[in-house]
Amino acid sequence: MSAKTNPFGVTENLRDPKRDGSVPTRTEAGDRHSEREVRRLTLTLGLVVREERLRRCMTLAELAERSGLGLTTVHDIEAGRVGSLETYARLADALRLRAEFELADPRRREPLTRRAADPVHAAMGEAEAAHFRGLRFQVGLDEPFQHFQFAGRGDVAVCSLERRALLHIENRTRFPDLQDAFGSFNAKQSYLGAELAERAGVGRWRSETHVIAALWSGEVLHSIRTHAASFASVCPDPIDAFEAWWRGEPPETGRRSILVVFDPAEGGRCDRRRWIALDELAGTRPRYRDYADAVDLLGLGGR
């Protein structure tokens, strides 16, 4: 048995023989772990650089000029390739950011201040992560990935290495721009799974379940009902696969795209449902009036 680290930094014991039948040494396993960590870090840094550049409406050439770096170097950094500390420092300075480096204990909870920009979104992710960790699945939050010029993060990623199954959840508290929401979700369906499979060393997932989890609010229900055909086109599959994951029984095979309307609050009644499917919306009453009401009723106003 050898110690193998999954894409979310959790170590578990798995058989991982080499092609000649021998078992990797602890050093070899550590090397693979280090390579995956470097890959994760460089993807995250590249994503930050790209997002900040676009936010400032800068081209690659402009950022290269301001940082004193070559155009190819800036492109490679945004694509998630490894750069020197000086390179990242130059890019940070050109983008008016402060470069920081820290060694963090993965067992410590992320500071609330870093997730306070959207407390309801964070509450949805917390509820989902707590449930799936309770089922002993590996869970990752805000997982970065990059595919050529597209970069993004997966809100909640859950995997079962034993079944080679992946669940990706995209939490949505509102839909101010449907085109942007659908584009982001479609890109993650296309590229996130392959990136996480590479980090996990599983080759490819036997099953992938991609879910838009929308807040159970009147504001969101109105958006979904008004654009029912659009949501049905992007998320055409029934809710069965998500229900199976929630029970701790990931699908064996297949690829699915599902919409659920989700409530981050569990409630005291044993028969209280946490989610409903797209085809159950008719006559369904919202749990929250709008986003502000959810902040109030979930007790998140002080975060």
Residue 236 reports pLDDT greater than 80: yes
Minimum mean pLDDT range among 14-23, 154-163, 219-228: 14-23
Q: pLDDT at position 258, please?
A: 97
Q: Judge whether 106 lies within some domain.
A: no
Domain membership of residue 139 as a residue range = 112-297
Q: pLDDT at position 3, please?
A: 46
- Per-residue pLDDT, averaged over 182-208, amounts to 91
* Separation between Cα atoms, residue 5 and residue 16, nearest integer Å: 11
Average pLDDT along the chain: 83
Give tens-digit pLDDT for 244-303: 999 999 999 999 999 999 999 987 777 788 999 999 988 899 999 999 899 999 988 654
**Residue the block writes with tokens 């000086």:** 86
Domain count, the chain: 2
Give tens-digit pLDDT for 79-123: 888 889 899 999 989 988 877 777 765 545 444 334 446 899 999
Give tens-digit pLDDT for 21-57: 454 565 666 677 787 778 778 878 887 888 788 877 8
Q: Judge whether 237 lies within some domain.
A: yes
Residues 66, 164: one domain? no
Residues 188, 65: one domain? no
Residues 63, 158: one domain? no
Residue 6 reports pLDDT greater than 90: no
Minimum mean pLDDT range among 17-21, 124-128, 136-140: 17-21
Q: What is the CATH number of the domain that holds 28?
A: 1.10.260.40
Minimum mean pLDDT range among 148-157, 223-232, 234-243, 293-302: 148-157
Which H, E and C letters describe the chain, residue by residue? CEEEECCCCCEEEECCCCCCCCCCCHHHHHHHHHHHHHHHHHHHHHHHHHHHHHHCCCCHHHHHHHHCCCHHHHHHHHCCCCCCHHHHHHHHHHCCCCCCCCCCCCCCCCCHHHHCCCHHHHHHHHHHHHHHHHCCCEEEEEEEEEECCEEEEEEEEEEECCCCEEEEEEEECCCCCHHHHHHHHHHHHHHHHHHHHHHHCCCCCCEEEEEEEEECEHHHHHHHHHCHHHHHHHCCCCCHHHHHHHHCCCCCCEEEEEEEEECCCCCCCCCCCCEEEHHHCCCCCCCECCHHHHHHHCCCCCC
